[in-house]
Chains A and B, each alone.
Chain A
Amino acid sequence: MKTILHIIKKEFQQFRRDPKMFGIVLIAPIIQLLILGYAATLDVNSVHTVVYDMDKSYESRRFIERFKRSGYFIIDMYAENYEEVTEQLNNTSAIVAVVIPKEFEKKIQRKETVPLQAIYNGSDGNTAGIASGYVAKIISEFSKEIVLDFRERYGQKSSSVGMLTPEIRVWYNPELKTRNFMLPGIVGLLLSVITLILTSLAIVKEKEIGTLEQLIVTPIKPFQLIIGKLVPFVILGFIAVVMVITAMNLIFGIEVRGSSFFLFFASFLYILSTLGLGLFVSTISKTQQQAMMIAIFAILMPMVYLSGFAFPIENMPEVIQYVSYLIPLRYFITIIRGVILKGIGIEYLWMDTAALLGIGIIILTLSSLRFRKRLE
């Protein structure tokens, strides 16, 4: 026990002596939180729009007015011909061009159907899809009014047919902010970076400098060395988690709806896996550069992208969905989101918790064994 404490103390001293590193470890989470909180949004709220109004009538202007009033569209320019439309879509950030055909007004008055073209710059498929939804909504509201207007004019009081209408309610995140979805995930991301990458670096550094051999010839046992090396990063990880959760609440108003205790417990279970992976990386790399590259590209990135942190697992092909079951971050992110956004606890999340515990124990045991073998 005493030996372990000594190693922990030594590790902390090393932190202290490298203030740049220490600063980075503690400041980075907050910067990440700010950047992600303010920039990482898939909300589509300013669609750059080109309008080509061939009709230039009262009705067409009324229609364009709808786009302006919706708050989603910014009309960048009014085109005079198709060349200009093409030019705008090709060379600027315009996302949609709405083309109002000739006789728009006349056809509406004659009760004929007007075709309305909207040309999208589809290179960002997601934005284009959502923008198209907005346009469809504007058109359907406009159409509804025209129909109602007619009925009034021709004296049909009630509608001759019934109507099915959707009534949509969004739970947990009624404003549909991407931010609420992304930010809790940062807790998982941070813990992974601190515990996985920094652990592996710290061990490989000793290897690279040659001090690991000195440690081996001392009476320190391998497991004491492992624990002593890992504990400081666990502590550092928890400090970062507390900082991020506090900052999330103060800056973005995202509160932990569920039990904080359960959140920390789950964090601890998750750390078992990342520490294990960190150890594993340290056994297969000889230099810090290698360790970083392996940790980031072979482990962290796939883990982040397959965990559902930014990209919904439900959208992935089935095979990859199965692969994602192997990824501890997947369960942790489910738990974090559940606790923070939905306020649910272990009664619904026990399966993810159990998975996290199982994977953590397996990874940590295997890596420790491998690490020990390497030492001997």
Chain B
Amino acid sequence: MNFVRTKAIAKKEFKHLFRDIRMLLILLFFPVFLLGIFGYAVNFDVKNIKTTVYDSDRTELSRNFINALNSSGYFDITKFIDSDTEIRKILDKKDAQLVIVIPKNLSRDFHSNKEAKIQYLIDGVDGNTASLIQNYVTAATSSYNNKLTLIKVSKTGSKFYTPIDYQPIFWFNPELKSTKFLIPGLIVMILIVTSAVSVSLSLVREKERGTIEQVDVSPVKSGELIIGKTTPYIVLALFNAIVILVVGYILFDVEVKGSYLLLFITTSIFLFASTSLGILVSVISDSQQVAFNISTMASLLPSVILSGFIFPIDSMPWAVQIFTNLTPAKFFIEILRAIVLKGVGLQAFYLQVIYLIIFATVFLGLANLINSRKGKTS
């Protein structure tokens, strides 16, 4: 390994990168842009549920109940209807996510001490939102019910009794904001794009244009070439990571609770792994189009869907859960969440670090193997 030659290649690659200003701007600017979109647009926090009410009871009880719902802040009652024939149309057209049907004798049933049912029709197309709406309406009904019972019971003089008082406490993210949860995943995604995808493209470009043969006949060894070519992208990726953390802190109050040193070391290890993946892809593919498709299929897509970035791994079928272990992003996201959100130390994620190192070695080894095979046949 000759350091001077490696440095020369790195310098050349940096020049390439800086000369292509559009590319550089994209690589630098879009992480922030994406973060903005993610931070503001991407969330599962269901509020202002569009609600239509069909009140066929029209009593004090039903009106008070509707008012209570309206003032809870979760329901946005936009429409009242007079017949149940419209319900289907409203849900079909997505005019409302929830239709509350209050049956005719609600008040009568309630006051004659029977069970009075309130019907909720939920648009289930988005299963996640629907199940949150389900939780809200259940909670709203039962809390209103408790209030009524309390009033009634205190009138008769007996004591109102709730056996269990549920006290939920949420650690790490008390407001349950999904932004905090998604930002570590976003960092990983952007790092993968700047390392794995860009590296594979820049290596394949030399192949496509034929310049790799010129390099082959020069005294540069392949190790030097690869280190030289990847260094600029790794530097860029690290820079991106810093930008994202700073912007995340300014815009979304996402603070790094744990140690910065650990963060830096683990990020470098991850970059090592994902760059190795990029190298592996570049060895397999002959054109940028192919490289691009393989690297999105092999790195970007799994790192969005299988990594636990958005979708909880625990809910996947077990066969898919095994597959998730093939993506380095999964382990790095776990590490990032532990450091950034929980602020815990190495004892929580040393296994993940080991996995990442294993990944890197396997990818590099494979790339090397395939490369030397190809060298022999050609």
Contact = CB atoms under 8 A, between A and B. Distances in A.
A132 B121 CA distance: 22
B139 A306 contact: no
B3 interface: no
B243 interface: no
A130 B131 contact: yes
Contact of B342 (A90, A113, A287, A348): A90
A5 interface: no
Contacts of B89: 348
Contact of B173 (A123, A163, A285, A288): A123
A117 B201 CA distance: 53
A315 B43 contact: yes
Interface residues of B, number: 125
B134 A133 contact: yes
A90 B344 contact: yes
A24 B293 contact: yes
Q: Indicate the member of B33, B134, B293, B320 with the most A CB atoms within 10 Å.
A: B293
B162 A89 contact: no
Interface string B194-214: 000010011001000000000
Contacts, number: 364
Interface string B286-306: 111110111001000110011
Contacts of A25: 293
A310 B128 CA distance: 10
Nearest to B149: A161
A143 interface: yes
A168 B136 CA distance: 11
A91 B348 contact: yes
B12 interface: no
Given A122-B176, A160-B156, A181-B127, A297 B289 contact: no
B120 to A, nearest CB: 5
A164 B145 contact: yes
Nearest to B23: A290
A163 B137 contact: no
Given A125-B180, A201-B289, A89 B171 contact: yes
A24 B286 CA distance: 14
Interface in A280-315: 285-290, 292-294, 297-298, 301-302, 305-306, 310-312, 314-315
B137 to A, nearest CB: 6
A164 to B, nearest CB: 4
A250 interface: no
B305 A181 contact: no
A35 B101 CA distance: 39
Interface in A157-179: 158-179
B92 A24 contact: no
Given A93-B314, A133-B135, A312 B126 contact: yes
Given A176-B127, A337-B125, A298 B138 contact: no
Given A18-B287, A147-B161, A161-B113, A117 B169 contact: yes
B320 A305 contact: no
B294 A165 contact: no
B216 to A, nearest CB: 22
B43 A311 contact: yes
Interface stretch (A134-142, A215-223, A225-233): A134-142
B134 A125 contact: no
A305 B33 CA distance: 12
Contact of A125 (B111, B141, B173): B173
Contacts of B135: 129-130, 132-133, 136
Contacts of A357: none
Contacts of A21: 287, 289-290, 293
B45 A315 contact: yes
Contacts of A40: 305, 310-311
Interface stretch (B46-54, B233-241, B261-269, B365-373): B46-54
Given A20-B290, A173-B130, A181-B126, 10 more contacts: A36-B305, A38-B317, A38-B320, A44-B131, A118-B167, A139-B164, A147-B161, A178-B126, A315-B129, A320-B41
17 contacts: A38-B320, A39-B305, A39-B311, A118-B168, A122-B170, A125-B173, A125-B176, A129-B132, A133-B139, A147-B163, A166-B141, A167-B120, A170-B124, A289-B205, A290-B26, A306-B37, A314-B46
